[in-house]
Chains A and B, each alone.
Chain A
Amino acid sequence: MSDAVFDRVRSGLGDLAQDAAVSHGVLVIDATPAGVLPLVRGLKASGFDMFLDVTAVDWPAQAPRFEVVWHFYSTTHKVRVRVKTRVAEQQPEVDSLVALYGSAAFMERECHEMYGIRFRGNDDLRPLLLYEGFVGFPLRKDYAKEQEQPLVPYREGFQ
């Protein structure tokens, strides 16, 4: 059943997708950064009504460096789609999905603070899991795990 849905989605993608293949039961669509918003608009129109998750993967040795990954679920077809795109370190920017999904506002805040991906159109990218004033993006591979930056300084002689 899911194959039929995937075929229909794939045929409706047109030139928005660079590649689309099924992997582990999920349709994986590669898109350009500019193509993500129209692509997702089309996905939403074809029944992918739930925006599950957005995150990024950091590949420091590759260019463009960051892979931004979105997951969508259709409560009618009961299948998932993954949309991926690549953005460069110099301009880690993609379009926000706040206009399409209510859940985007919160989840984009997390991706922004962890990877430094900017979501154009989301005007509330305040820190969420981290604290105000945290320097750097902790889930990037070049952020050392041992690095400390306590909000409240250690007492003298304690460290």
Chain B
Amino acid sequence: MDMRELRLPNPIRPAFDKPTSDEHVIVNIGPSHPATHGTIQIVAELDGEKIVRSDVHCGYLHRGFEKECESHTWHNLIPYVDRLNYCSALINDFAYCAAVEELMGVEITPRTKYLRTLLSEYSRIADHMTCIAAGLMELGAMTAFLYLVSIRDWVYEHIAQVTGARVTYSFGRIGGLARDLPDGWIDRLEWILGQYDDFVGRVHGLVDRNRIFIDRMRDVGVINTADAINYGITGPMLRSTGAPRDLRKDTPYLAYAELDFEVPVGIKGDNYDRYFVRMREMDESVHMIRQLVDLLAKTPGPINVDDRRCSFPEKEHVYTEIESLINHFKLVMDGPKVPAGEVYLAHEGANGELGFYIVSTGEGVPYKVHVRSPSFVAMGMASRMLDGYQLADLIPTFGSINMIGGECDR
């Protein structure tokens, strides 16, 4: 059989296909490379082991999120929103719901506010742990990986006790949440946070002053604050350069204005700083969760707003009253009517500014849902962080960006 018949078209057009020198060679890495977590393709020109220039291609996980949103009701697209950053899906949920609530003029109840904040911080811990654990494993630190992933798995299973799912929760509701915490959840939370202190302490002991780790991470993938801001970088990557920019402090939303927490920053924006900023941010999240547990104990009350435009009526009323039955029917079939207008609302996602730009024409279905995803914007700077370093540095540098395919490619 003629092999040329089997040739498939190249899905990308690389920025360069000729090396700048006869000594150089062009290497294609990905899109499914065992050492890069995330479906990404990098075309790199190498001089020996050194990357001279690189061209980053994302999009392999593109599934038409924004197009799909335009044919689902405001409620029905929550499961899609979950699948943006699937390491911290609840943050996506709450940011999306907050954007719709802003347009509808709905104010969530105090208990929901605290619950959303707590679950956001809990998700942030899981997300940072995934990022750090995977990064460490790629450098050969298997023990540290297992320590962190043990905690993360307890967190996942613990969140599953509230939401019913392990990774993609579909737990946010416009105007509230799917349900309140089950009995005994807070006790288990205390136990997990105790384990967190123990295991994260061990990881600090194993890694922080480890010669191999420092040699691989220090002064690799360096970015400075001016470049980071110029390239739209937010979140832990921007903070690793020393800029204390955090939406939770700068434009407080949910309950962050009531909480005591610090914004950890790095010194020079290299891989080591990104590791350390994430580790410290997890500590701050634990500190916030402990405050929120106290606040939640003092805040009983409904979790869903009493607003028939968006909140579903109680099931017992749906089965016994015609008004509630029709209300339920209209919310399911037509979707909540969101007033015409547009809004941009951003939450501090685990990777940075996660913004939702939504446009409504007053229907039960959005006219447009656009996501400003931090990973996607960071990919615009990725090649600058890889050029000039060793090929082997690509793995920890790319890991420290924490590109999440679902969020980047949408």
Q: Which residue numbers of A lie inside 8 Å of B, CB to CB?
A: 23-24, 26, 49-53, 55, 57, 69, 71, 73, 75, 78-80, 82, 101-103, 105-107, 110, 114, 124, 126-133, 138-139, 143, 145, 151-152
Contact = CB atoms under 8 A, between A and B. Distances in A.
Nearest to A128: B59
Contacts of A78: 250-251
Contacts of A105: 380
Contacts of B381: 102-103
B246 to A, nearest CB: 11
B398 interface: no
Interface in B74-96: none
Contacts of B8: 151-152
A57 B12 contact: no
B344 A80 contact: yes
B67 interface: yes
A interface SS class: loop
Interface centre among A71, A103, A124, A138 (most CB of B within 10 A): A103
B231 A103 contact: yes
Interface of B: 8-13, 15, 57-59, 62, 64, 66-68, 70-71, 102-103, 227, 229-232, 234, 243, 245, 250-251, 341-346, 353, 355, 357, 359, 367-368, 370, 372, 376-377, 379-381, 409-410
Contact of A53 (B67, B231, B370, B410): B370
Contact of B370 (A55, A80, A151): A55
A24 B379 contact: no
A71 B227 contact: no
Contacts, number: 117
B372 A131 contact: no
10 contacts: A23-B342, A50-B232, A55-B357, A57-B367, A73-B353, A102-B232, A127-B12, A138-B67, A152-B8, A152-B9
B103 A24 contact: yes
Contacts of A114: 66
Nearest to A77: B250
Contacts of A75: 229, 243, 245, 250
B154 to A, nearest CB: 35
A57 B367 CA distance: 9
Contacts of B12: 126-127, 131-132
A138 B102 CA distance: 28
A139 B67 contact: yes
A34 B167 CA distance: 46
Interface centre among A50, A78, A80, A132 (most CB of B within 10 A): A50
A69 B59 contact: no
Contacts of A73: 353
A131 B59 contact: yes
A25 B229 CA distance: 22
B36 to A, nearest CB: 18
Given A71-B344, A80-B344, A126-B13, A138 B380 contact: no
B341 A23 contact: yes
A49 B229 contact: yes
A82 B353 CA distance: 16
Given A53-B370, A130-B59, A133-B9, A101 B102 contact: no
Given A52-B372, A105-B380, A71 B355 contact: yes
A129 B64 CA distance: 10
